[in-house]
Structure 1
Amino acid sequence: MTAPRKVWPQYPTSTSAPSSTPPSSSTALPTLRTVAPSTPSTRLQNLVCIITGASSPLGIGRATAHQFVLAGARAIYICDFNAPQNLSSLQAELESLPSFLTIPSSPNASKTRRPEIHTRLFDAADEAAVKAVVNDAIERYGRLDVFFANAGIVGTHKLFTSISSSEFLSTLRTNVLSVFLAMKYAAPAMRLKSSHKTEPGGSIIATSSVAGLRSNAGSTDYSASKAAVLSLVQSTCYQLAGSGVRVNAILPGLIETGMTALVFEGARKRGTEAKVGQLNPMGRAGVADEVARVAMFLASAESSYVNGQGWAVDGGLSAGLPWVRGKLA
């Protein structure tokens, strides 16, 4: 028996570009598709967060920044290598969202305020730049609590024998070195205590992929890089034992983002969008918001006993072997 297909989640969109006029250097961002209610909460109350790979209008970084704001983060650094106009637009968008952030104004009182959003334009694999953004968080706020190492590229779409050494290393530089540097500088910063943070700890989250678990989900260089990200998570969590710093990876399946936009655009032109994602048990592709909800959980204290894990967000694709719908014996 074949179950009816669901192409996209149907929950009404709850967040979009701000109604106020953005800076002249900004460009309007498309409406962010959400799949569940986005209600302001205190899950990240007063935490300081860094997100790399945040400029894509369809990206996981943007969707996660929304969730962090709504959860009451104190400050969010949105970082990327290019598209400064998108970062400016995202900054304006985030500053328009509701938040339950409260800041103590006296020993017996507090006031509500919006999170502070900082934009940073740098290469996530640039060691000096990563160190600088972490140091800035410590100098401004006396703490760093969350680093979402989300920057990445899709790699080459070639047979492995046609991939040059420079192309292979370029993919690893962006997808693996960036995560290593995030861990290298975020972990010591998260262990610092100050008048603003009395207990050490924090959450480092890296974007891996189901391509790091199974073949046929990406090119050779991309798949190797994402497997390396998962290995970094597993090895560093033990080296951080007892520090209060947790390290986890998210492994998205087929998600509509800027990196996969051509797949979806082509399918829509051909009228075959319903076939995109048909190999997973959910029978559809995902949207960035579905990954962002997992990033939110891993960033918050609600995941305090989750460490060294790779969390697949793939509709069940990595749960089994490929099969033909309706022909399972």
Structure 2
Amino acid sequence: MTVAGKGRLSGKRAVVTGAGSGIGRASAVLFALEGASVVAVDRVEDAVDETAAMIRANGGTVLSVAADVGDEESVKTFINLSVEKHGGLDVVYANAGISGGLVPLGEQSVEYWLEILRINLIGPFLAIKHASPIMAKQGFGSIVCTASVAGLRANAGGLPYSASKAGVISLVQTSANELYGTGVRVNAVCPGLIETGMTKPIFDNARARGTEGKIGQLNPLKRNGVPEEIANMALFLASDEASYVNGQAFAVDGGLSSTHPFSGKR
């Protein structure tokens, strides 16, 4: 599903977080195939090193970094690494995130919420905070964040996860306006049900029950998505092809969010 090798990011310097698996890995590999020099970031060192090895095997340029995207010093370090080692920064894909919230509301702790918000919302904020001054100085740049259809309306995720992703959508809109006149664009991708490491339990449970054929049945395409389909949207937003796209959140969900499907809990 990935169309690569057209040089759509030729000469650009990109940072991709959550690059150790799933959407982040697919995006880091695709960005490199399209000509970007990539800094691949993930909290799991072995996983992000594996992504880097895949990129190098295809002749790409990459540095791999194990880091916590919710820690400000770590974010400054990997943002500055692109400048120091690759000569600049043109693209940031703040993709890293964690799931959570399927615990009943009454059993959710403040600490549980804080950790999800720290990674899913504070992480993109820190990426924008530290990447945008570099991009503004050169007069251009693209920041892409992973939100979710769960941030658009209810019943696509747990409470803290959904709230964090709604926050990402607002962050993208407000940041785009905060960066008025700088030439820096900020947009979001809102994936639907994508088979990744984060969603693996959903798919494993369905297969164990023999209901795999029902996965994705609530959207008009009647299927789940794959990481490469999200990576393709992220590539578009990162590229100059999206030069007049700013402050937007794009659902890539098979049409799920075009309506209000709902399955009762009782």
Q: What TM-score does the superposition give when structure 2 sets the normalisation length? A: 0.95
**1:60 equivalenced with 2:5 (yes/no):** no
1:230 is aligned to 169
Structure 2: distance between partners of 1:124 and 1:133 = 9
Partner SS, residue 78 of structure 2: helix
Contact 2:187 2:246 in 1 (8 A): yes
TM-superposed deviation, 1:242: 1.2
Structure 1 vs Structure 2 CA RMSD? 1.3
TM-superposed deviation, 1:269: 2.5
Aligned match of 2:8 in 43, 49, 56?
A: 43
2:121 is aligned to 176
User: What letter corresponds to residue 93 of structure 2 in structure 1?
Assistant: F
2:56 is aligned to 95
Structure 2: distance between partners of 1:118 and 1:236 = 27
**1:280 equivalenced with 2:219 (yes/no):** yes
Structure 1: distance between partners of 2:32 and 2:147 = 23
Aligned match of 2:230 in 277, 287, 291?
A: 291
Percent of residue pairs identical: 48
1:69 is aligned to 32
**1:145 equivalenced with 2:90 (yes/no):** yes
User: What letter corresponds to residue 117 of structure 1 in structure 2?
Assistant: V
User: What letter corresponds to residue 178 of structure 1 in structure 2?
Assistant: G
User: What letter corresponds to residue 252 of structure 1 in structure 2?
Assistant: P
User: What letter corresponds to residue 182 of structure 1 in structure 2?
Assistant: A
User: What letter corresponds to residue 228 of structure 1 in structure 2?
Assistant: G
Consecutive unaligned residues of structure 2, counting only runs of 5 or more, are none
TM-superposed deviation, 1:187: 0.4
Partner SS, residue 14 of structure 2: strand
Aligned match of 2:103 in 143, 158, 163?
A: 158
Contact 1:143 1:192 in 2 (8 A): no
Partner SS, residue 256 of structure 1: coil
Consecutive unaligned residues of structure 1, counting only runs of 5 or more, are 1-34, 98-113, 194-199, 325-329
TM-superposed deviation, 1:116: 2.0
TM-superposed deviation, 1:192: 2.8
Aligned match of 1:316 in 243, 251, 255?
A: 255
Residue correspondences, number: 263
Contact 2:20 2:42 in 1 (8 A): yes
TM-superposed deviation, 1:323: 7.0
Compare CA radii of gyration and give the structure with the larger one: 1
What is the correspondence of 1:116-131 to structure 2 with a 5 Å cutoff? 116-131=61-76
Q: What TM-score does the superposition give when structure 1 sets the normalisation length? A: 0.78
More helix by share: 2
1:24 is aligned to none
TM-superposed deviation, 1:85: 1.6
Structure 2: distance between partners of 1:295 and 1:40 = 15
TM-superposed deviation, 1:81: 1.0
**1:134 equivalenced with 2:79 (yes/no):** yes
1:81 is aligned to 43
Structure 2: distance between partners of 1:218 and 1:43 = 33
Structure 2: distance between partners of 1:224 and 1:293 = 25
CA deviations 1:110-158 (Å, max 9, x no partner) are xxxx432101111001101111111122223332000000111002311
CA deviations 1:295-315 (Å, max 9, x no partner) are 000000000111000000011
